[in-house]
Amino acid sequence: MFMSDIPLAPMERILRKSGVERVSEDACMALRDLLEQKALEVGFKASKLARHAGRVTVKAEDIKLASE
Amino acid sequence: MFMSDIPLAPMERILRKSGVERVSEDACMALRDLLEQKALEVGFKASKLARHAGRVTVKAEDIKLASE
C-alpha cells in the first residue's frame, strides 16, 4: 500500500502453495504490505548488526541473526 | 533458495530503505527466503481462519489476523 517494492503476482502463488483455494486481491496486497514491513524491520536490525561486527556491507549472517 | 517466488531486486531496494549502505547478494537471497517462509506461515494460518469464518476465499482480514 505505502511502498510496493514487492510485486503482487508472487503473493497469490505463495498463498496457493500454503493451501489457499481462492484469494481476494486485497488479501494479496495485505500480504505484500506485511512482508515489506517485516523486510524493513529485519533490514534495520541487520544494518545495526553489520556495524556491530565492524562492517558496512550487510551479509546473509546479519539477515539471519536479525530475524531470530 | 528453496522456492524463489519473490524476485531478488526488490530485496535490495527495501534494504536500502531500511538504512543499509552496502548489501551482499547472499543477504538479498537470505531476506527473500525469510519472507517466503513468513508468507507461507501466514497463508497457512489465513487459510484456516477463512474456513473458520465459513469461507473458501481468503480475504485481507484473514491475512491481518493470521499475522498478529
Domain boundaries, chain B: 34-68
B21–A contact, CB cutoff 8 A: yes
The mean pLDDT value for A57-67 works out to 97
Q: Who contacts B7 (Cβ-Cβ below 8 Å, separation ≥6)?
A: A7, A10
Q: Does A5 touch chain B (CB under 8 A)?
A: yes
Nearest to A35 among B22, B38, B57 (CB): B38
- The residue with cell 558496512 is A56
So what's the ipTM on this one?
A: 0.92
How far apart are the C-alpha atoms of B12 and A40, rounded to whole Å? 11
> Which residues, at least 6 apart from B48, have a Cβ–Cβ distance to it below 8 Å?
none
Neighbours of B8 (CB within 10 A): 12
**Chain segment A2-54, per-residue pLDDT in tens:** 557 899 999 999 999 998 889 999 999 999 999 999 999 999 999 999 999 99
Alpha-carbon distance of B37 to B66, in angstroms, equals: 14
pLDDT reported for residue B1: 43
Contacts of B16 (CB under 8 A, 6+ apart): B23
Chain A residue numbers touching B21 (CB-CB < 8 A): 47, 56-58
For residue B3, what pLDDT is reported?
57
CA distances from A7 to B5, B9, B11, B48 (A): 10, 11, 11, 25
Give the architecture-level CATH label for domain B34-68: Orthogonal Bundle (1.10)
Residue B27 · residue A58 · CB < 8 Å: yes
Low-confidence ranges of chain B (pLDDT < 50): 1
Query: The whole model's pTM is what?
Result: 0.92
Closest-CA distance, B1 to chain A, in angstroms, reads: 12
